[in-house]
Structure formats: structure tokens, C-alpha cells
Amino acid sequence: MSRPANPRVAARQARSLLANRLPGSRRGTVRQHLARSERISQTIWRRWHVGPYQWQLKHLRWFLVEKTNDCVSGTRYRYWLTVRLLIFALDHDGWVERLDGPWVRPSGERGELKAGRPAFMPSPPVK
């Protein structure tokens, strides 16, 4: 994909990228993820003028460190969940481990994750 010309086009690219991968209806959580993905892509575009298909690890790390710094831990965690979905939609699975930070847990504390239900990883759409 080519570079988007403005933040609205970047937001549209991120929304379509994620909308094709998220199962379920377009209500509630899915709609919130789509809105957050638009905000993330617009913010990154304003700083680096790149769209979701040109993102590098440094762009997402910058967003999580700089732009969610003033948010409460629950909001940072929700942004992290959306970033994680975007990473899987872009097929860059190895980036998840490299984006460790205080946003990874709702409590905001670092440490070992407790064993529990495996994380939901969206599967590619069936063609």
C-alpha cells in the first residue's frame, strides 16, 4: 500500500485493516477498537507521515510511551489491546514481546503474567 496523503486516509486504512480481522458485530468492544485504531493511526501519521502498512516497531512504541503517558492505567491497557490487534493484523507477531511496558497489564505494574485463559488471537478471514 502507498503512504496515506492525510490523517483521515491513514485512519481509514487502520479501520479497514482491523475491521477485516475482528469477529463479531460492530457494537461495543469492536467499535471501540476501531475508534482507537483510528486515533492511533492519526496520531502516528501526524508525527511521521506513515500509514499502518508502513509502521515500524518504533512508531507503536512511541505512541504507547509518549501519547498514553498521561492516561490512567486502564486506558493505557485498552490502547495496548488495540495495538496488539493491529500488530496481529499486520502479521508482525514478533513485535508483541518487544513492546513490553506498563501498559501491558491493567494494574500498570510489571511482573510475570499469571497463568490463565490463553489470549484471543484473531484468525485470518476465510476466503
What is residue 100's predicted lDDT score, i.e. its pLDDT? 87
C-alpha cell read off for 5:
496523503
Low-confidence stretches of the chain (pLDDT < 70) are: 1, 25, 108-127
What is residue 125's predicted lDDT score, i.e. its pLDDT? 64
Phi-psi region of 24 (alpha: psi -120 to 50; beta: other; left: phi over 0): left
Asked if 88 and 122 touch (Cβ cutoff 8 Å), the reply is: yes
3-state per-residue secondary structure call for the chain: CCCCCCHHHHHHHHHHHHHCCCCCCCCCHHHHHHHHHHHHHHHHHHHHCCCHHHCCHHHHHHHHHHHCCCCCHHHHHHHHHHHHHHHHHCCCCCHHHHCCCHHHCCCCCCCCCCCCCCCCCCCCCCC
What is residue 127's predicted lDDT score, i.e. its pLDDT? 62
What is residue 41's predicted lDDT score, i.e. its pLDDT? 96
